[in-house]
Amino acid sequence: MDYIPLEQPVAELENRIDELKRLATSQSMNLDSEISDLEEKAARMRHEIFSKLTAYQTTQIARHPRRPNTLELIGAMCSDFIELHGDRNFLDDPAIVGGLAKIDGQSVVIAGHQKGRGTKDNIHRNFGMPRPEGYRKALRLMSMAERFNLPILTLIDTPGAFPGIDAEERGQSESIAKNILVMSRLRIPIVTVVVGEGGSGGALALGVANRVHMLKHSVYSVISPEGCASILMKSASAASQAAEMLKITSSDALRLGVIDSIIDEPEGGAHRNVEQTAALIKQQVLRDFAELKKLPGEKLRDTRIEKFMKMGFAGDGAEILGLN
């Protein structure tokens, strides 16, 4: 397993545990007691580390090189997944994946950002940063979902939309804006889960949903801590301070009304048990779909619009507009 600096104390213990297990096997030695003691110590250390994460440490967990990506979560949650490619306009953007699937027999349309595994795959996936054709592919899938009256699940995990010249030339801002507009008008259930990074409009283009959730150690923000620090504090080294100011953690987002709930993760982060993480997401998603399917299309649309219109208002402003 790849480790980040935050996990280094635990990594040393786990490496020692692996050494003892190999030694016990090769030398036919009984080291169960020593191994058990070290495993308990590692578990206590993980709990201690993950029970008091700062906002920037949470960002590091959200970016963990082994954090489950969209295709891995789909594979663990769904059956009969059929990936659909291309935006029918320019090309297929591998930074967004999606298609048709079943979750415990429930037919759904799924779309999500896709980061890679390793350098070569990350370059192919553009590190999960979509170009306009990626968002247009997602829009095609969501329009198909409404045509066949299928609920939508979107999984968010992106640093943000790709800011390259080629993306701007092909209408990056327009593609994001159109996704937000169309998603707000769809008359089918939409559920969104932020599973890693939720960066800026690149995330929101898949995030206008009736129910929005975050995995416990994911982040959701208008800008990365490093970007914010570079702009406001003139130094990316102030990213830790910027992360606290941005209120990017799941607990911050829940308190501010940006999301509906927090989905728990295995001790030590989602990367330690992908199957358990996927099971927790599936449980929440199926519960949401069961509730939302009872509502008529107009109600789904209107409550979704109202949900997002309420965000950002405080005090008299919300009362004047009748949004309380």
CA atoms of 146 and 64, how far apart (whole Å): 34
Residues 6+ away with beta carbon under 8 Å from 51 = none
Do 91 and 237 fall into the same domain? yes
Contact in structure between 270 and 192 (CB atoms under 8 Å): no
CA distances from 95 to 45, 55, 85, 114, 124 (A): 35, 26, 11, 5, 8
Looking at the fold, whether 9 and 65 belong to one and the same domain comes out as no
Of 255, 250, 245, the C-alpha closest to 225 is: 245
Whether residue 197 sits in one domain with residue 70: yes
The pTM score is 0.88
On whether residue 101 sits in a domain, the answer given is yes
Judge whether 132 lies within some domain: yes
> Does residue 261 sit within a domain?
yes
Q: Does residue 236 share a domain with residue 119? A: yes
Per-residue pLDDT tens digits of the chain, which is 324 residues long? 577 888 888 888 888 888 777 777 777 777 777 778 888 888 888 888 888 899 999 999 999 999 999 999 999 999 889 999 999 989 999 999 999 999 999 999 999 999 999 899 999 999 999 999 999 999 999 999 999 999 999 999 999 999 999 999 999 999 999 999 999 999 999 999 999 999 989 999 999 999 999 999 999 999 999 989 999 988 888 999 999 999 999 999 999 999 999 999 998 889 989 999 999 999 999 999 999 999 999 999 999 999 998 887 766 555 544 555
- What phi and psi values does residue 186 have, to the nearest 5 degrees? -65, 145
Q: Give the number of domains in the chain.
A: 2
One domain for residues 126 and 41:
no
Where on the phi/psi map is residue 80: left (φ > 0), alpha (ψ -120 to 50), or beta? left
For residue 322, is it within any domain?
A: no
Q: What CATH number has the domain bearing residue 215?
A: 3.90.226.10
Same domain, residue pair 180 and 222: yes
Same domain, 125 and 250: yes
- Structural domain ending residue among the three candidates 52, 67, 88: 52
In a domain, 324, yes or no: no
In one-letter notation, the amino acid at residue 201 is G
Shared-domain flag, residues 66 and 160: yes
Give the CA distances from residue 208 to residues 107, 187, 258, 308, in Å, rounded to whole numbers and listed in that order. Answer: 20, 12, 11, 8
> Within this chain, do residues 153 and 185 fall inside the same structural domain, yes or no?
yes
Q: Closest Cα partner for 6 from 235, 268, 314, 284? A: 268
In a domain, 320, yes or no: no
Q: Both 77 and 46 in a single domain?
A: no
149-161 confidence digits (pLDDT tens): 999 999 999 999 9
Are the beta carbons of 138 and 98 closer than 8 angstroms? yes
Indicate if 135 and 245 belong to the same structural domain: yes
Determine the Cα angle at 134 with ends 202 and 170, to 5°: 90
The answer to whether 182 touches 115, Cβ cutoff 8 Å, is: no
Q: CB under 8 Å, gap of 24 or more: what pairs does 37-41 form?
A: 38/13, 41/13
Q: Answer yes or no: is 321 within a domain.
A: no
For residue 140, the model assigns a pLDDT of 96
Residue 131 lies in a domain: yes
For residue 254, what are the domain limits? 59-312
What is the spatial distance between Cα 218 and Cα 184, in angstroms, rounded to a whole number?
Answer: 24
**Do 64 and 30 sit in the same domain of this protein?**
no
